[in-house]
Amino acid sequence: MPKKVDHRERREEIARALWRVVEQQGWNRATMREVAREAGASLGQVQHYFSTRTAMLTFAMEFAAEHTSHRVAEGLAGVAHPRDVLRVTLAEMLPLRPDSRATSRMNAAYVLEALHDPELHTRLRDELREKRAIVEHLIRQAIADGHIPADRDPAVETNLVLSLTGLTTLLELDVIEPSAALAAIDQHLDRLFVRPPRSGSAARADRTG
């Protein structure tokens, strides 16, 4: 079905144009008209693919989330220990590289937009609850497998792991370096897990993406 593929490709091109507008000019400027200009398309063409600005933003966010999942999956190739799974996942959620920075900024803007848009709020809430449940499942399994001490509270530990995304603001404002963010993540995970799979900071630095 080449037509369907083209449709999808064209929507993705528009989504990428939207990312660039958000990255360079900010969320406020991400109107359908400006995105059309950036994509080298007419406003009518963009409106053909997305009936509303919200539909365009939603698709761009979902596409960004797919990209993040893809990067996480790539980072997890050959990784089995739950400590490494959490480390790779957290590192990809932080704005440490151009691609993760773009999706991180999209996400921050989207969360802000959701605060006064009930439909977006429900959608984002459900997505984040689902992600949180996956992390809690991983932590419960790590406790069952003896990787995390049995007296840890899985719900509390899940919230603490997810709170590490709060390093985003420090990174975006150049208050700390990427290496400091990774050191903080490693320190937290070292205290969460019984035994880090690899010891020594040198070995850990090698895994830096």
Q: Of 176, 178, 197, 198, which lies in the binding site for a copy of itself, with binding defined by CB under 8 A?
A: 176
Any contact of residue 77 with a copy of itself (CB under 8 A)? no
Between 52 and 169, CB nearer to a copy of itself: 169
Stretch that binds a copy of itself, among 5-13, 34-42, 136-144, 158-166 (CB under 8 A): 158-166
Q: CA gyration radius for the chain?
A: 19
Between 8 and 137, CB nearer to a copy of itself: 137
Between 73 and 155, CB nearer to a copy of itself: 155
Q: Of 128, 134, 141, 144, which lies in the binding site for a copy of itself, with binding defined by CB under 8 A?
A: 128
Any contact of residue 116 with a copy of itself (CB under 8 A)? yes
Shortest Å distance, C-beta 91 to a copy of itself: 14
Among positions 179-208, residues that touch a copy of itself (CB under 8 A) are: 180-181, 183-184, 187-188, 190-191, 202-203, 205-206, 208
Shortest Å distance, C-beta 166 to a copy of itself: 2
Three state DSSP letters for the chain: CHHHHHHHHHHHHHHHHHHHHHHHHCHHHCCHHHHHHHHCCCHHHHHHHCCCHHHHHHHHHHHHHHHHHHHHHHHCCCCCCHHHHHHHHHHHHCCCCHHHHHHHHHHHHHHHHHCCCHHHHHHHHHHHHHHHHHHHHHHHHHHHCCCCCCCCCHHHHHHHHHHHHHHHHHHHCCCCCHHHHHHHHHHHHHHHCCCCCCCCHHHHHHCCC
Contact by Cβ (8 Å): 12, 63: yes
Shortest Å distance, C-beta 63 to a copy of itself: 20
**Both tokens assigned to 27:** 């969320």
Residues near a copy of itself (CB under 8 A), total: 59
Q: Of 20, 76, 108, 197, which lies in the binding site for a copy of itself, with binding defined by CB under 8 A?
A: 108
Any contact of residue 167 with a copy of itself (CB under 8 A)? yes
Among positions 26-45, residues that touch a copy of itself (CB under 8 A) are: 26-28
How many CB atoms neighbour CB 109 within 10 A? 17
